[in-house]
Amino acid sequence: MADSFEIAYLYARVCGAFSSMYLGAKGAALAAESSLSSIWKLYFDEDIPNRPEAWLLATLERRVIGHSMERFMTLAGSAMESDAFIPAIVAKYEISVIKNLLYRLAASEPKPESQSFSSPTIEKALSAWPRLEEMFADSPYAWIDAAGLVDIGAVENRLDRQYYLQLWSAVSALPG
C-alpha cells in the first residue's frame, strides 16, 4: 500500500489534471477513497493490475493526463497551429511523457505502448527507442544524454525549468 504522502500527491495531481471530469458525486467518491486500488477502479472501471506501486502510480498519472490531453486537443482544435500559448501548454504533456521514457530507459524497461496524444518529438523518441542520443536529437530536448539517466532528478528539474521558461515566454507574448 502506498503511504499517505503518495496518495495525497497522486490525488493532487489527478485533481489538477482531471478536475472537470469528476465533479459532483464522482468528486465526492474520489475524496472518500483511501487506497490506490479503489482510486484505480473509480477512474478506469477495471481491476488494478498486479504490478509494483511505483508503476501503478506512474501509469495512473499517465492515463489521466493522456485523457485530459485528448479532451484539451478537442477543445483547442485549429488554434493549435496559430497560437504560441497552445504549444507551450502541450509541452507540459510532452515533458511528462519524456520523463516517463527516461524512467523506463533507466530501468531497462521495454518500449512503451503508443501514446493517446502524441507530437513529432514523442513519435521520434518512440521510433528511436532505446537509442537515447537519437530519441531527442534535433528537438528542444537534444541536451538530454545518457548521463541524465544516472541523475533523472536533475534532468526532470531542467525539463521543468525549460517548460516554465517556454510558458512564460508564450504568456508574455499574449496581447493585453
Rounded Cα gap, residues 58 and 100, in angstroms: 8
As given in the structure block, the three cell numbers for residue 125 are 523518441
Rounded Cα gap, residues 174 and 85, in angstroms: 8
Question: What does pTM read for this prediction?
Answer: 0.56
Residue 158, judged by CB atoms within 10 A of its CB (0-12, 13-18, 19+), counts as middle
* Nearest to 157, CA basis, from 112, 102, 89, 109: 102
Q: At what angle do helices 25-32 and 4-18 cross, to 10 degrees?
A: 160
pLDDT at 176: 56
Half-sphere exposure of 86 (CA within 13 A, CB side): 14
List per-residue pLDDT tens for the chain, 176 residues long: 345 555 555 555 555 544 545 445 666 676 677 777 888 887 778 888 888 888 888 888 888 777 777 776 665 554 455 467 677 777 888 999 999 999 999 999 999 887 666 788 999 999 999 999 999 999 999 999 999 999 999 999 999 999 989 888 877 776 65
Looking up cell 500500500 gives: 1
CB distance 70 to 149 below 8 Å: no
pLDDT at 56: 83
What φ, ψ does residue 5 adopt, rounded to 5°? -65, -45
pLDDT at 80: 52
pLDDT at 136: 95
Looking up cell 473509480 gives: 42
Task: Note the Cα 47 to chain centre separation in Å.
Answer: 22
pLDDT at 72: 67
pLDDT at 114: 72
Rounded Cα gap, residues 42 and 67, in angstroms: 15
pLDDT at 158: 96
CB distance 135 to 129 below 8 Å: yes
